[in-house]
Amino acid sequence: MRPPAPAPAPAPAPAALGLLLLLLLPPPPPGAAAKKATPCKRCRELVDKFNQGMADTAKKNFGGGNTAWEEKTLSKYEFSEVRLLEITEGLCVSSDFECHSLLEEHEDHLEAWWLRL
């Protein structure tokens, strides 16, 4: 008589296959798991960029060459809407939708504050 054939090896459990796949897959790129910034963090970033824009434009003027006429006719550059526009244009990179959205949402408040200076 012939000895019984050995039993076939059990199929690997699905959990073991999943673990094996996890070990074989390459890790995600460093920036892939970056969390979305909170509204408070986005606002702080916007304020920091605004302050930097104010510092960058502090020594500028209208640039027309006749400073006395410009200050008499157009008011001072320091508190002008031109300066506000220059600052706000530099706040968001073109691809940052959240930044543009936040800026647009509060644009009226920002302009009202600026005009009271």
What is the total count of domains within the chain?
1
Q: Please report, as a single letter, which amino acid is at residue 39.
A: P
Residue-level pLDDT, tens digit, the chain, 117 residues: 676 666 665 555 566 666 665 667 677 666 655 567 888 999 999 999 999 999 998 888 767 667 677 667 767 878 888 899 999 999 999 999 999 999 999 999 999 999 998
Residue 10 within any structural domain of the chain: no
Question: For residue 42, which of 104, 85, 89, 86 has the smallest C-alpha distance?
Answer: 104
Question: For residue 90, which of 44, 55, 41, 38 has the smallest C-alpha distance?
Answer: 55
79: containing domain: 36-116
Which pTM does this prediction carry?
Answer: 0.62
Query: The tokens of 90 are what?
Result: 């530099």
Residue 21 within any structural domain of the chain: no
Residue 80 within any structural domain of the chain: yes
Give the torsion through C-alpha atoms of 42, 44, 50, 51, to 10 deg.
-160
Residue ranges of the alpha helices (H) in the chain?
A: 14-24, 39-56, 67-74, 81-89, 97-105, 107-116
